[in-house]
A and B are shown apart, each in its own frame.
Chain A
């Protein structure tokens, strides 16, 4: 004699299986979302293609000097003898006398490479993030100088005080694992070969 009452019915079995499946799926989805949220931390960065070099990165940061620094993309630099980001407009003699320098903090270093090429390096300890060198480099050269929030300095305020004042809304939150927005460089196409900024 068979005991059918102890055997699960087909409908009951399917219902149970569906329930377990749905629970597992929801659990998995939840775990994935939590994991994603944990991985996706966000930091402030300014988009160099939107930045208008208003000077407020130097004056509005809660840090002094600002966490915003000029960076140099060596990949696109023209290594010009007459660098408009380095020299004052109107000078006739290309020497490194202080009166000839554009940077108000003297944070750009000019190094001879070979005739007639010169390399320009940013000294981040001196740079105040004013962006004065950025505008002429963009207008006359290739735009290899641009401003970035340096995350070894930025304390990542909940509401960035520069972002509040930025007239062009160039500040945005970016994922902490991709914290820089570099001009003239597509990380998906070209491996990063720029020299580490001092």
Chain B
């Protein structure tokens, strides 16, 4: 074998080796692609079936229908409130958006992120930061700043009545009662003085809401860890409660629900929940009537469905996922395409 033939065979051998390596590489790549892309997804043996919990087939369907929606160009919308004239206030970030007749009328800029808002019958606006409340006039000008509620305070809801303002504080697990000048009158801690139930308000996650009694008799406060709504007189005495934990449509599901509540002018209640995202309608004695908006109405995983009610009983739902105030009305025929 001469030198030239030897070189030729060596070259052929090298080229063959490289070729084999390339073919092996391509085949491996194709196998990976087939495995990861074209192979049908295997059933997860550890699946937790949320859809089974969201089923609404057997629940009574109340005659509620979505009749409109108002876009909310705000960062992280948190709460909404309606005044007597139907003007809508929505807070998000450091701003309060004022919407009249479906159109943006004004933006009020504040110094800190606004957690929640309410409007009283005189049109005065109450906005809560994490630790304190500020009072604004109808033009959005600052009228008063109330005292700081302390290092632990995390205000989640505010309800302004004719003479009293109730402030729900998730951090301190209390509802603070103020007069309209900002004087702190009392703290409601939810602890039963008879000692039958310890713990007061149980708030595992940062949702702690309340709504004024429409007859002027105190306030309804959600005790989310006990999955119920409790009534307190203006003196801070608990007189009753409704709602129970469970997996059926009429019950509250999860560790801590409902997240939000509003009482309608006829005395009935509307609640919203997280986990199973739904808005439900209860009678004034807490009997389940039906869905206002079933779970299919919302994006999966959405939380913070704040509520308020208009004078005609329309329910406004803040949908932070869609960044809309969605409007629902009762008494209409079911929607048919």
Q: Which residues of B, 33-60, contact A by the 8 Å Cβ criterion? A: 36, 41, 44-50, 52-53
A80-B255 in contact given A90-B247, A115-B198, A116-B225 (Cβ < 8 Å): yes
Chain B contacts of A84 at CB under 8 A?
Answer: 254-255, 275
Task: Please tell me if A183 contacts chain B, counting CB pairs below 8 Å.
Answer: no
Q: How far apart are the CA atoms of A74 and B112 in the complex, in Å?
A: 28
Chain A contacts of B205 at CB under 8 A?
Answer: 78, 141-142
Query: C-beta contact mask, B272-314 vs A, less than 8 Å → 1, else 0?
Result: 0011000000000000000000000000010000000000000
Task: Please tell me if A50 contacts chain B, counting CB pairs below 8 Å.
Answer: no
Chain A contacts of B246 at CB under 8 A?
Answer: 92
Chain B contacts of A142 at CB under 8 A?
Answer: 204-205
Q: How far apart are the CA atoms of A81 and B254 in the complex, in Å?
A: 10
A130, A139, A141, A167, most chain B CB atoms within 10 A: A139
Instruction: Give the nearest-CB partner of A102 in chain B.
Output: B48
Task: Please tell me if B116 contacts chain A, counting CB pairs below 8 Å.
Answer: no
Segment at the B interface, from A3-11, A51-59, A190-198: A51-59
Q: Which residues of A, 109-138, contact B by the 8 Å Cβ criterion? A: 114-117, 130-132, 135-136
Question: Are B46 and A132 in contact, CB atoms less than 8 angstroms apart?
Answer: yes
Number of A-B contacts defined by CB within 8 Å: 79
Question: Are B274 and A140 in contact, CB atoms less than 8 angstroms apart?
Answer: yes
Q: How far apart are the CA atoms of A132 and B256 in the complex, in Å?
A: 20
Task: Please tell me if A175 contacts chain B, counting CB pairs below 8 Å.
Answer: no
Q: How far apart are the CA atoms of A54 and B46 in the complex, in Å?
A: 8
Query: C-beta contact mask, B229-273 vs A, less than 8 Å → 1, else 0?
Result: 000000000000000011100000111100000000000000000
Question: Are A58 and B199 in contact, CB atoms less than 8 angstroms apart?
Answer: no
Q: How far apart are the CA atoms of A56 and B253 in the complex, in Å?
A: 28
Total residues of chain B contacting the partner, CB 8 A: 29
Total residues of chain A contacting the partner, CB 8 A: 34
Q: How far apart are the CA atoms of A21 and B52 in the complex, in Å?
A: 71
Q: Specify which of A55, A90, A102, A114 is in contact with B45 (CB 8 Å cutoff).
A: A55
Q: How far apart are the CA atoms of A136 and B205 in the complex, in Å?
A: 14
Q: Which residues of A, 53-99, contact B by the 8 Å Cβ criterion? A: 53-56, 58-59, 78-84, 89-90, 92
B188 to chain A, nearest CB (A): 19
Question: Are B46 and A58 in contact, CB atoms less than 8 angstroms apart?
Answer: yes
B198 to chain A, nearest CB (A): 5
Q: What residues make up the interface of B, taking CB atoms closer than 8 Å to A?
A: 32, 36, 41, 44-50, 52-53, 198-199, 202, 204-205, 225-226, 245-247, 253-256, 274-275, 301
Which 3 A-B residue pairs are closest in the complex by CB-CB distance? A78-B204, A140-B254, A140-B275
Q: What residues make up the interface of A, taking CB atoms closer than 8 Å to B?
A: 53-56, 58-59, 78-84, 89-90, 92, 102, 104, 114-117, 130-132, 135-136, 139-142, 164-165, 167
